[in-house]
A and B are shown apart, each in its own frame.
Chain A
Amino acid sequence: MVDNSADLGEISGSLQRLAEKHFGSSCIVKNLKRPPMLGGANETFIFDVEQRSKSQRLVLRRQTYFENNSPFLAMSHQYTILQKVFRNKVATPEPLFELESTDCLGKGFVMRFVEGETIPRKILANDSLDVARRKLTEQCGRTLAQIHSLSTEEFNFLGGSADSKDALQAQIERYEKYGGRQPALELAIRWLQKNRREYPVKRLLHGDFRLGNIVVGHEGFKYLLDWDCCHLGDPMEELAWLCLKSWRFGKVEKKVGGFGDREILYRSYLDNGGYEISQERIRWWKIFGYLRWAVLNMMQIHGHMNSSRKSLPFAICGRNICLIEYDLLMALKGEKF
């Protein structure tokens, strides 16, 4: 696949030196590989560090998107968030260390590898994950309640980000930056502006809580990945996002991520200390969510057309926008103006 990232051979030397710096000169980096990059901000490398017959599997996450007004957090912020949520016992991979400029590997960090399934269609179809699917909705509600209960004081550094300050304005500015001329998205923007709702609390949100970023095992939810869209906002934003049709991966009848029912999600969320459910705000955040997802796709195709950040998946993002617009308009059709 054509993309802008380095070949494995190019980074393996730097990675060996990095491992020696942190684990001593007797360690050897082995089994370096790169899983497919499906579109996000960071590229991922998986590798083993072997030392005195012991082996540990690690993950390098590197920045690939360098534009202004990025929807993704700086790597250093991602690393800080990972440290803080890990310390607060949110199920997430353990962060180990950040890259330094002398490592010659760009910006990023290393974390521990976690075992489990992340591919949405496998999670939704594999017979061996039957039990997992039955438990997953309840577990998602509990994890969301846990994240939304974390003290925001620790995450004050996120308060200045565009998405934390005014999530809708952040999307509009990006939409325009990417050359926004999409009538369907204009309708969404107009409706969202006319129907803005105050929300009582601003909490830490993962920002991209859905299959693809959840590691699933036989007992269901194992770990939450990819904190690159983390921000402060209305907890209802996160519940709405998980229920977008875009994250059902063909299982449209299961409104929660393709695997569950909303009532079970809300019940679990409330039982575990989550915030009062507002259907009205969830509907607003649903329309917002489709707009945001469409704008993220616009970003990928804008990068593909205007920079060297090219790939087949990014090219397809451009033709996916209309699918999101369709879901958006079907949702908007049911709303009063």
Chain B
Amino acid sequence: MTQHDQPDCFELIRTVNDFLESIEGKLHGSDKYGLQCAKHVLNIIAREIEGAPDGSLQTADDIKKLCLGIREGKYDDNWPETLRHILDHVVEKVKISDPNHLRGI
């Protein structure tokens, strides 16, 4: 893998975030809302890069098979285990999207 020059991607994200914060006071209405969205997206990106790579990631094929199986009732007899398994994967996604959500915030 290529070793990039400074700054690393986290510093780049922080710098963009700082810039957005510096102009926040000048914005109103939909622009202000857009800026908050942009900061949220930056945070998602930062957490995603930091969290990768995850060896337990399901492939698209795994997911497709699981979905079809559930629809056909193949997991009806293993309902609690299936739910637990799917919840584990959902929690991994939530940790990236908005970890506060797991604390009920």
Contact = CB atoms under 8 A, between A and B. Distances in A.
Contacts of B34: 1, 36, 312
Contact of A323 (B33, B60, B94): B94
A325 B30 contact: no
> What is the size category of the interface that chain A forms with chain B?
20 to 34
A186 B67 contact: yes
Interface string A82-94: 0000000000000
Contacts, number: 89
B101 A323 contact: yes
Nearest to A190: B70
A329 interface: yes
A35 B98 CA distance: 26
A34 B40 CA distance: 22
Contact of A322 (B37, B79, B93): B93
A58 B31 CA distance: 22
A180 B93 CA distance: 17
A277 interface: no
A326 B94 contact: yes
A333 B91 CA distance: 14
Nearest to B76: A337
Interface string A310-325: 0011011001101101
> What is the size category of the interface that chain B forms with chain A?
35 or more
Interface string A173-205: 000000011111011011000100000000000
Q: Is the interface of B mostly helix, strand, loop or mixed?
A: helix
Contact of A252 (B30, B40, B79, B104): B104
B40 A316 contact: yes
B64 interface: yes
Interface string B38-55: 101100100000000000
Contact of B67 (A1, A37, A181, A316): A181
Contact of B29 (A35, A315, A323): A35
B57 interface: no
Contacts of B71: 186, 189-190
Given A316-B37, A322-B94, 12 more contacts: A37-B30, A183-B70, A184-B86, A186-B67, A187-B70, A320-B97, A322-B97, A323-B97, A323-B98, A323-B101, A329-B90, A333-B83
21 contacts: A35-B30, A36-B29, A180-B67, A181-B64, A183-B66, A183-B67, A186-B66, A186-B71, A187-B86, A189-B70, A252-B104, A315-B41, A316-B41, A322-B90, A323-B98, A325-B93, A326-B90, A326-B101, A329-B83, A329-B86, A337-B79
6 A-B pairs closest in CB distance: A322-B93, A36-B30, A1-B34, A36-B33, A312-B37, A186-B70
Interface of A: 1, 33-38, 180-184, 186-187, 189-190, 194, 250, 252, 312-313, 315-316, 319-320, 322-323, 325-326, 329, 332-333, 337
